[in-house]
Structure 1
Amino acid sequence: MLDKKMHTFALLAQTKSYTVTAQRLYLTQPAVTQQIKSLESELGLQLVSYQHAHLTITPAGQQLASYINKIDHESQKLLTQLKLPNQQTPIRLGCTRSLSSFLLTHVLQQLHAKSQQIRCQIANTDTILKALTAGNIDFGLVEGNFDKTRFAFVTLRQEPFIGITYADNPLLTGQPLTLAQLLSQTLLVREPGSGTREIFQNWLTMHNAQIKDFQQVIEIATPTPIIQLLTTGCGISFMYRSLVSAELASGQLVQLPVRGFELQHEINLVYLKNSYFAAQYQAIAAHV
């Protein structure tokens, strides 16, 4: 088990404030400061620094905080299993908003017999990865880009990523569309931190363009309102085909024939690197 100084430092790395850390631990601020200094002395590492009176966590400190959160989360989970060998342990997963619309139900169907308690956090890719690092979830279902050197993962499938619009958009002439033609449209796009947004943004960057270059940009945090707006005759958007399979089949929406836009993206089950429970997460992925 980790000693209290480690836990204090992990909380400080999260709050970035000695005052808030002291309040949460019911300690005095000098006591927290002393614990951090003692830990730095023991390890021979600088864990925190000040820049213009602003506390920052050093790169070494960030790695240590991540390690502490991982060990703490996994040790608590293991102890629960050891103490209650005949009982099902809770499952905590995270899922991006896009995947919650077409993949999450299938995953939950696979999990419901494995635990009496299943907790699901739905958020964008960035938030899910932060929750995983902090030990707030066991694994995440993400479609956005992530640092594959920091996390272990199983690729579930490749999903087509397409441009879509309403059926009678004057932009549709039967000819392949150029980026310049797209920029004349209203773009419906997810919020910063969304994996969907990042994929499209990366494609634009490759073509020397940005989201702000569109005639109008409407940011929406979930895919459902975007799809609803599209079906009412508003704008264009870019997302996974599975999100709009029904609307495409009915003819309410159509795929944009964009020249050079042929993207597929990985959908991954992501968990902490070198996790003790890796075999369990891989078994879940095998049935998704």
Structure 2
Amino acid sequence: MSLDLRKLEHLVAVAEEGGFTRAAERLHLSQQALSTSVRTLERHVGVQLLDRGHQHVTPTPAGQALIDDARALGAQALAALDRARRIGRGQAGHLRVGHTPAVTAEEVVDLLTRAGTEEQGIRAHVRQLFPDELREQLLTGACDLGLSRAMPAGTGLTRARVAEHRLRVAVPAGHPLAARSAVALADLRGQPLTVWGEPGSSAYTDLLIGLCRQAGVEPDVRRNPVQGTPPVTAVTATGRIAFVTAPPGPAAGGAAHVVDLDPPVHVPVHALWPAHTTCPGRDLFLGRAGGPPEDGAGRERAGRERAG
């Protein structure tokens, strides 16, 4: 039995818009045509996919399962079309890389250099994206590879650890810890710390909190009010301490100082990519810089890592 991708797109739109009226406007269809399409899909699947209430339409459990998979299928179809277009236009050697703010542009370039992408004729295009944007661009085929710290894969994506970087702390230049050659995590007790995501909604924030708790410190974390900038700039924006992976010494034009953690602590860089898609540049990168995809025991490790 084959599935009509267009009808799956209709189902996703109704679920996302919460009803047929707005979904029909979004899809430039009549409500009758959209309703007929979804009914046809339900008959094809053999189960009810939507609960049609008076005020709101919501997916049934079966409908939600199909919607989750439909998004991944749609991404794979778009990625396949894009790959064919790029090959036809002589652009097969391109690699589009997105990275979250927690992974700096310098770290991305270092990973690409170690993978030897340029030597192999792969032209990389790099851009910074927030986690939700990165996930969307990966699923829609706009990005071939995502780099993040501890961001979970979720439906439709595959994840592998590709690097580890030494974690350090950045403090204001006049802070008492700035004169130290190294500090322990326990030295941060009582110090307000800046993070980039709210606890419970950011895997990297949860990882950092977990590291502090392992050292016996209950961290006082506050979300950085300035989003999207390199991690070390959080110090100049807030006057508080921040975790960074920048090299030790003066930073941010002398306004901050980066200090080693002793004993050393390392944090991961994860690669994410759309499952069941092909990209020669990505395969080269993962073959030289990456580890095996995390599934089974790997996903269990990732879950423990997220919990700290």
What TM-score do you get using the length of structure 2 for normalisation? 0.68
Q: What is the Cα deviation at residue 119 of structure 1?
A: 5.7
Aligned mates of 1:278, 1:66 — CA distance in 2? 23
- What is the aligned residue count? 276
Q: Is 1:88–2:91 an aligned residue pair?
A: yes
Q: Is 1:155–2:156 an aligned residue pair?
A: no
Q: CA-to-partner distance for each residue in 1:182-225, whole Å, 9 max, x for gaps?
A: 453343221345554232234456689876x45x664331343x
SS in 1 for 2:250: helix
**Corresponding position of 1:139:** 145
Q: What is the Cα deviation at residue 51 of structure 1?
A: 7.8
AA matched with 2:133:
T
Closer/same/farther in 2, CA of residues 217 and 81 from structure 1, 3 Å limit: closer
**Corresponding position of 1:238:** 243
Question: Any unmatched runs of 5+ in structure 1?
Answer: none
Aligned mates of 2:60, 2:26 — CA distance in 1? 22
**Corresponding position of 1:187:** 193
Aligned mates of 2:175, 2:107 — CA distance in 1? 29
Aligned mates of 2:31, 2:217 — CA distance in 1? 48
**Corresponding position of 1:47:** 49
Q: Is 1:22–2:30 an aligned residue pair?
A: no
Q: What is the Cα deviation at residue 107 of structure 1?
A: 5.8
Q: Could you tell me whether the CA contact under 8 Å between 1:91 and 1:138 is conserved in 2?
A: yes
**Corresponding position of 1:166:** 172
AA matched with 2:35:
T
Q: What is the Cα deviation at residue 157 of structure 1?
A: 1.0
**Corresponding position of 2:37:** 35
Q: Could you tell me whether the CA contact under 8 Å between 1:139 and 1:271 is conserved in 2?
A: yes
Indicate the RMSD between aligned Cα atoms, in angstroms.
4.1
Closer/same/farther in 2, CA of residues 72 and 233 from structure 1, 3 Å limit: closer
Q: Could you tell me whether the CA contact under 8 Å between 1:92 and 1:120 is conserved in 2?
A: yes
Q: Is 1:71–2:73 an aligned residue pair?
A: yes
Q: What is the Cα deviation at residue 286 of structure 1?
A: 3.2
Closer/same/farther in 2, CA of residues 40 and 164 from structure 1, 3 Å limit: same
Question: Any unmatched runs of 5+ in structure 2?
Answer: 290-308
Greater CA deviation, 186-195 or 48-57? 48-57
Aligned mates of 1:24, 1:121 — CA distance in 2? 28
Percent of counterpart pairs with the same letter? 18
In the alignment, which of 267, 270, 281 is matched to residue 268 of structure 1? 270
Q: CA-to-partner distance for each residue in 1:141-174, whole Å, 9 max, x for gaps?
A: 1212314785323321122233332354235796
AA matched with 2:41:
L
AA matched with 1:145:
M
Q: CA-to-partner distance for each residue in 1:6-60, whole Å, 9 max, x for gaps?
A: 2212333444443332112111223323322321222123333368944433444
Aligned mates of 1:254, 1:150 — CA distance in 2? 38
**Corresponding position of 1:222:** 228
Q: Could you tell me whether the CA contact under 8 Å between 1:126 and 1:194 is conserved in 2?
A: no
Aligned mates of 1:151, 1:58 — CA distance in 2? 23
Aligned mates of 1:278, 1:154 — CA distance in 2? 16
SS in 1 for 2:176: coil
Closer/same/farther in 2, CA of residues 26 and 86 from structure 1, 3 Å limit: closer
Q: What is the Cα deviation at residue 245 of structure 1?
A: 4.6
Q: Could you tell me whether the CA contact under 8 Å between 1:188 and 1:220 is conserved in 2?
A: no
**Corresponding position of 1:199:** 207
Aligned mates of 2:261, 2:112 — CA distance in 1? 35
Q: Could you tell me whether the CA contact under 8 Å between 2:97 and 2:126 is conserved in 1?
A: yes
**Corresponding position of 1:283:** 284
